[in-house]
Amino acid sequence: MSGFVIVTGAREGRGRVESPGKAGRSAIVDHSRCAVSALPEGSRPGNCVNCGTCLKKCPQKTAIPEHMKEIVRELK
């Protein structure tokens, strides 16, 4: 999760970007591992075969296969 940030202070309109720090990142990774393990086996990020079907359906044109690879790397 190399690009992960936390935005704080948004209510006052003075939002600032902060790094989650080592402890915060560890908590995020642990939570992400639990979330991924709760998915059905065939729906986990490691099962992505880079077929491109999701790219055709995504209205935001997000690079989903690349994100799946990054998730797999980060959660090892």
pLDDT in tens, 19-69: 677 777 788 888 888 888 899 999 999 999 999 999 999 999 999 999 999
Structural domain boundaries enclosing 43: 6-74
Kindly list the distances between the CA atom of residue 25 and the CA atoms of 16, 19, 39, 60, in Å, as whole numbers in the listed order.
18, 9, 21, 26
Q: Which two tokens stand for residue 32?
A: 């992400």
Residue 24 covered by a domain: yes
Q: Name every residue whose Cβ is closer than 8 Å to that of residue 2 and which is 6 or more positions away in sequence.
A: 70, 74
The answer to whether residues 18 and 39 touch, using CB atoms and an 8 Å cutoff, is no
Q: Would the pTM count as exceeding 0.75?
A: no
The pLDDT value recorded for residue 19 is: 67
The pLDDT value recorded for residue 1 is: 44
Residue 68 covered by a domain: yes
Residue 62 covered by a domain: yes
The pLDDT value recorded for residue 22 is: 74
Distance CA 70, CA 4 (A): 12
The pLDDT value recorded for residue 14 is: 56
The answer to whether residues 44 and 70 touch, using CB atoms and an 8 Å cutoff, is no
Residue 65 covered by a domain: yes
The pLDDT value recorded for residue 74 is: 86
Count structural domains, the chain.
1
Residue 1 covered by a domain: no
